[in-house]
Structures are given as C-alpha cells and as structure tokens.
Amino acid sequence: MTDYLKPDLCVIGGGSGGLTVAAAAAQLGASVVLIERDKMGGDCLNTGCIPSKALIAAGNRAQLMRTAPEFGIQAEEPKPNFGRVNDHVKQVIAGIAPNDSVERFRGLGVNVIEGEASFVDKKTVIVGDELIRARRFVIATGSRPMVPPVPGLSDVPYLTNETIFEQRRKPADLIIIGGGPIGMELAQAHQRLGCNVTVLEMFEPLGKDDKEFTEIALRHIRREGVDIRANTKVIEVAKKAKAISVKVETPAGEVETIVGTHLLVAAGRVPNIEKLNLGAAEVEHSNKGIKIGGGLKTSNRRIYAIGDVASGLQFTHVAGYQAGLVVRNALFGIPVKQNINIIPWATYTDPAIAQVGMNEDQAREKYGDNFKILRWSFDENDRARAERQTDGLVKVLTDKSGKILGAGAVGLHADELINMYAFAIANGHKIGAFTKMISPYPTLFEVTKRVSYEFYKDKLDNPLLKGLMSLNRLFG
C-alpha cells in the first residue's frame, strides 16, 4: 500500500510567494509541505531584488562623491573595489537569508522537502521518493532569465541576473541586451561603479512606464555616461579575442559592431514550469505561464498559481499579495479576487520611477476625456531644492468626483512617495483626503498635498463660491 503525505497545503517553490503562503498557513495551524529544488528565498533574495538593490546602493555612494562640489565639498573620483562591492552584496543577502532558511521554516512546523516536484495526476505530486496528496496545491516556482534566440549568443560567455552578482572584477566595458527595469537599473549602477556601459534595446527603453517619467530618468542616466541605444536590433554575437562583439541594426537600418569585455542579457523572464508535468495535473498553461482566474485558481480547482509563474505582473510584492489571498481561500474558503489596480511598482533608477493604478492611456480608454490629470513639479518643492534634485514630477489621475484612478512619480524617492497613493487607492480615498494631511516641512511628501489642490483650481469659478465670498465681504 502506497504511503502518501496528506497535508492541508503543498507549496511548490520556496521563493517570496511560496514562503509567505507556507509561513502564514503553518502559523494558522494548517499542515504544510514546502518543496524547493534550489535556494530558499528564490530569485528575489539570491539573484534579484536584494542583490540588485545592494549593488545600486553601492553605485549611489560612488555618485555622491562625484556630485559633492554642488554642496561646496571637494569631489573625489571614487575607486570601487569590485571584490569588496561583491562582499557588500553577499553580506546583505546573508543578513536576510535566515528569515527564509530551511531551519526557520521547519521551526514553524513546515515540512520542507528539498528536490524537484512533478505532478503525477490531478491531486498528487512526487518529489524523489515522496508522494504528496494535499488538499490544495500552490505553484510558486517563479521565473528565470529569458535568453533571446540571437545567433552566436550560445557561443560566448554571457551574464544574466543569476550570474552578474558573482563578479569580483570590474566588467570594464559592459554591453547589456535589454533596456527594461532590470537592464536600466544595472546599467546605471555599473556606470557609477566605473564601468563603460552600453544598453541595446529593441524598442523604447523602460517602455512600460509613463513616457513623461522615462524621459526624465533616461536623460539623467545618459548624462552619467550610459550609452542607451533605443530601437536597436541585435543581429549577431561573437567572440573577438578576449572580448565580445555585438552586431546591431540601428534605427536608420545601418549595421554597426559594438565591442565589450562583458555581455549581460536582461531581455525578459520565462516561467519555471517545464518540469512540473502540468499536463498530468490538467493545469492549463502556455510558454507565458500558468493561466489563472481572478481567485488565483488554475484550471484544476485544487491548484493555485502565484507570482512570476502565473502570467501577469512579475514583482515580489505581487507574489506576497497573492499569497495572502490564497491562504484566505484555501484554508477558510473565503472568496477572493485579486485587484491589480491597487498594485504599485517601481523602477529603482536614479531618479526612480513609480506608478500605481491606471496610466493615461488606460484612463482615456475607460473615461474618454472625463478625467483629470494633475501635475506638480519637484522644482516647486523646497526639500528637493535643498537636495539639489529638482528634476522630478508627480502626476495623479482622477475622475470628475475626485476618485483617484492612478498616480505616478519620477524623482528623488519616488519609490517611497508612491506608497501614499497606493494606500489611498486601496482604501478608496479621494484626492481631497490629501488636502487634509499635514506634512512636516520641508519634506518631499508635501508634493502630494500640493498636487491635490490642483484638482480644485477649476472650481474657483463656481458661482456659488463667488456668491459666498461676496456675501462674506458685506459683513466685513
């Protein structure tokens, strides 16, 4: 007779989403099996969010040294030591790793199994010699770098986000294929750390963000020395002595060869689904990921999918949000539905870009011309002036009643400013709520209040208001 593990939940994938589900479910008293084939913490901890932000922080320190004369301080060209920068990155990861460790989760009562998971049928998974027949399954296997079908690419040593953070020697001339958030963040960080960086983007760099914001961010990145090639197609990659040559087609249709010491591929992500045997589980999927409904269930009602593996927004905080919904539904049967309008995202360039809710195109498609666009420049903010970082902008979209449809910012700490709008949208607050807020002076958060007053500008011609003012004058 076959022995099965029969937990309440079986979570496949020990990245941010899977760990959130496992920890929450175990603390609520559910029996949980967690399966991880590689490193606990997944891409975010080991090769994604954490190491990239640690590297960006190192680049920021170097840039502060270069810009010191603006504040009356003698500048000194930084001398980055890539070995020590790598130590810094590793130390940051090591400081967080215990929270995601096998030991911690076993301490929480989670049965952690290390190995490759594969479905046997609609309600059974096998890992090594273990068979698991859980009441519910959660697939949270994440994604990996997509390697484009460029001739010659497989014949040269190239880096991805999974290997770039292992560099202990400076990549003197770094060529990056891909001008999305990952490509642009790493481009700026490496340029600040003394590399010569060229970015090759087939379409528009940071093309998924608001153009008004990206123009400001890209202007700064170019000014720092990054060579950003928009609408440039990579034709071929080849070895050239101890270097790598990349043949490209320019927007004008001309062929040009760019030579560098290192090549980073940052051309998107693909879901980790190949070894799951999803056909046996009758889970509908494609090369873009697992298909899910609003309640995060797959075509097999026993199985949920969250995070990068489920086609949609690929952010760590999205996986965490989805994990909370899954726990509520899987353990307690509470109906859930994800709301993508409340999900913010940020690109950690300098200046940073952040958005939440609808953008202008989406608002125009739904509301036509019946919505407002409110803007306020960082140039009007005294703290931004004190920091000498006035090239920034806050933009808020509202309907005629003041309901916030979306918001975005580019500039100093835009990634932090967006939290206020994410909170407001999630809780249904109108733009008028910001006029009641008092911020310490001088802070960047004042821009959120100043831009909110823009909503009422066209109401100053209201006959009723003018009448009240006239009446008030009569009484002195």
**Per-residue model confidence as pLDDT tens digits over 228-273:** 999 999 999 999 988 999 999 999 999 999 999 999 999 999 999 9
469 found inside a domain: no
What would the mean pLDDT of 214-226 be, rounded to a whole number? 98
The tens digit of pLDDT for each residue in 9-19 reads 999 999 999 99
Same domain membership, residue 276 and residue 362 = no
440 found inside a domain: yes
Token pair listed for 97:
């790793």
Other beta carbons within 10 angstroms of residue 348's beta carbon come to 20
Same domain membership, residue 399 and residue 334 = no
Tokens 């062929």 belong to 255
Measured distance CA(63)–CA(189) in Å, rounded: 9
> 337 in helix, strand or coil?
coil
pLDDT band at 473 (very low <50, low <70, confident <90, very high): confident
Same domain membership, residue 245 and residue 172 = yes
**What percentage of the chain reaches a pLDDT higher than 90?**
93
Residue 442's pLDDT is 97
CATH number for 103? 3.50.50.60
Residue 195's pLDDT is 98
pLDDT band at 464 (very low <50, low <70, confident <90, very high): low
DSSP for 199-242 reads EE-SS-TTTTS-HHHHHHHHHHHHHTT-EEETT-EEEEEEEETT
Q: Which residues contact 69 (CB under 8 A, 6 or more apart)?
A: 75
345 found inside a domain: no
pLDDT band at 475 (very low <50, low <70, confident <90, very high): confident
The tens digit of pLDDT for each residue in 140-191 reads 999 999 999 999 999 999 999 999 999 999 999 999 999 999 999 999 999 9
What are 246's strand-pairing partners?
237, 258
Same domain membership, residue 16 and residue 104 = yes
Least confident of 303-307, 382-386, 457-461: 457-461
Candidates 122, 102, 121, 134; CA nearest to 11 is 134
**What percentage of the chain reaches a pLDDT higher than 70?**
97
Task: Reply yes or no on whether the pLDDT at 474 is more than 80.
Answer: no
Measured distance CA(156)–CA(262) in Å, rounded: 10
- Whole domain around residue 438: which residue ranges? 351-461
4 found inside a domain: no
Taking every pair of Cα atoms in the chain, the longest distance, rounded to a whole number of angstroms, is 95
Task: Reply yes or no on whether the pLDDT at 1 is more than 60.
Answer: no
Same domain membership, residue 404 and residue 372 = yes
Which is higher by pLDDT, 2 or 74?
74
468 found inside a domain: no
The tens digit of pLDDT for each residue in 268-312 reads 999 999 999 999 999 999 999 999 998 999 999 999 999 999 978
Domain count along the chain = 3
Same domain membership, residue 434 and residue 373 = yes
CATH number for 378? 3.30.390.30
The tens digit of pLDDT for each residue in 407-427 reads 999 999 999 999 999 999 999
Same domain membership, residue 65 and residue 30 = yes
Task: Reply yes or no on whether the pLDDT at 354 is more than 80.
Answer: yes
What are 176's strand-pairing partners?
199, 264
pLDDT band at 385 (very low <50, low <70, confident <90, very high): very high
Measured distance CA(243)–CA(169) in Å, rounded: 15
Candidates 289, 297, 248; CA nearest to 138 is 297
